[in-house]
Chain A
Amino acid sequence: IVLTQSPGTLSLSPGERATLSCRASQSVTSTYLAWYQQKYGQAPRLLIYGASSRATGIPDRFSGSGSGTDFTLTISRLEPEDFAVYYCQQSGSSPPTFGQGTKVEIK
């Protein structure tokens, strides 16, 4: 399953709302859809699993939604530490695959 993320880059200011899209080439059961954040030089960090469940310690400004082939990660109010690259990932079909990433940069 190919995951296509859009936009490639999102230029926003702190305090603004970020909406990131992940579109799958085939339907993905929500259980198998996750989102990660990766800052420069660091390992990825799990944000969302099961399409909408926040991982331990993740602030509630991060939320996930969607079903079928269209999934969304929303950051309600961007904090300075949220500027990073975000990846979606599916494991409903082998092999597990990641989207190409969306970079959220400071405008």
Chain B
Amino acid sequence: EVQLVETGGGLIQPGGSLRLSCAASGFTVSSNYMSWVRQAPGKGLEWVSFIYSGGSTYYTDSVKGRFTISRDNSRNTLYLQMNSLRAEDTAVYYCARASCTDNICPTHFSYWGQGTLVTVSS
């Protein structure tokens, strides 16, 4: 059974740093397309970052240079290092596994964790 469990959220002051973790089970993180998606309180979904199975990484413009996605193959865990945090980064952060359609990858998010709340406030 595929499971994704995020941890690491919390209350952090503006300008601070936080590292989110996403422990995966039932599949191998390094062989899949993994992503972080966030949702500000009462708002919609926003894609944040991808790490492809080959190791390539991608970010939405608002977090480029501040956030870093990575993975630890030995722990089968995905990470999101968040630096220089701003109030507008306040959100529930979801870890998601992306899937392919007709051998085109990635096209959609097939598995999601329960999310971890990050609150940036003084």
Answer yes or no: A20 CB below 8 A from chain B CBs: no
Task: Please state if A98 and B108 are interface contacts (CB–CB under 8 Å).
Answer: no
B96 to chain A, nearest CB (A): 8
A87-107, CB under 8 A of B: which get 1 and which 0? 101010011111111000000
**Binding site of B, secondary structure by majority: helix, strand, loop or mixed?**
strand
Task: Please state if A34 and B108 are interface contacts (CB–CB under 8 Å).
Answer: yes
Task: Please state if B107 and A34 are interface contacts (CB–CB under 8 Å).
Answer: yes
* The 9 A-B residue pairs with the shortest CB-CB distance in the complex, in nearest-first order: A34-B108, A43-B112, A49-B108, A98-B45, A96-B47, A50-B101, A100-B44, A31-B101, A101-B44
Answer yes or no: A44 CB below 8 A from chain B CBs: yes
Closest to B105 in A: A91
Task: Please state if B115 and A31 are interface contacts (CB–CB under 8 Å).
Answer: no
Q: How many residues of A contact B (CB 8 A)?
A: 25
Task: Please state if A89 and B115 are interface contacts (CB–CB under 8 Å).
Answer: no
14 A-B pairs (CB sep. < 8 Å): A32-B101, A32-B107, A38-B45, A43-B94, A43-B115, A44-B94, A45-B112, A46-B108, A49-B110, A50-B108, A89-B45, A95-B47, A98-B44, A98-B47
| A residues in contact with B52, CB < 8 Å | none
| B residues in contact with A95, CB < 8 Å | 47, 58, 60-61
